[in-house]
Chain A
Amino acid sequence: QAGLTQPPSVSKGLRQTATLTCTGNSNNVGNQGAAWLQQHQGHPPKLLSYRNNNRPSGISERLSASRSGNTASLTITGLQPEDEADYYCSAWDSALSVWVFGGGTKLTV
């Protein structure tokens, strides 16, 4: 089952802006949109956004998500040390009837 495509790593400085991307196809990201998860080493994932650009309560306003065609993006502004983590996108694939994840992007601040 093909997954979503994410760059393996992104490196940015403190207080800079990082944009992470997630590319799928018309059956997953392009159709249902994507959700974003953050995972710190040794901890379970944490939901950051859902349905392309909705944040659960308690998630920083420095995070915003969007989608253009088959590519979803997560933008984090004013990077802080605690933003250093692995980030995953996920989506439902309506053609395969499976959930798919991206391979994850390691964000280094």
Chain B
Amino acid sequence: QVQLVESGGGVVQPGRSLRLSCAASGFTFSNFAMHWVRQAPGKGLEWVAHISYHEINEHYADSVKGRFTISRDNSKNTLFLQMDSLRPEDTAVYYCTCESLDAFDIWGQGTMVTVSS
């Protein structure tokens, strides 16, 4: 079935790095733009980053621009988020989501990232 599975979350100290992965299955991954969306504890959804299906276009929220890098490997049906210079305010559940019909159509279960000393 259609599925997105995130991994790579954990507890990390401020200033350190973490790399998230999202494995896709059940659909043609290379045909769709992909996004990362995060949700801080008890807060709403915040869009983080986008990458086009052909990897040419990337967009980032101002809050992560210059620190986070989105990428994908279409041969392995996998989406990545490289997070550098992490801050306590980056603490959140990170979801990968597939864009279809101008909306966030498919969602993973999320992976928790905690930035704390």
Interface residues of A (CB under 8 A from B): 1, 32-33, 35, 37, 39, 44-47, 49-51, 54, 56, 86, 88, 90, 92, 97-104
Contact = CB atoms under 8 A, between A and B. Distances in A.
A44 B46 CA distance: 13
B102 A47 contact: no
B27 interface: no
A101 B44 contact: yes
B44 A46 contact: no
A44 B107 contact: yes
Contacts of A51: 101-103
A35 B44 contact: no
Contacts of B46: 101
A50 B107 contact: no
Given A1-B61, A97-B59, A99-B50, A45 B45 contact: yes
Interface string B36-62: 010000001111001000000001011
A17 B62 CA distance: 38
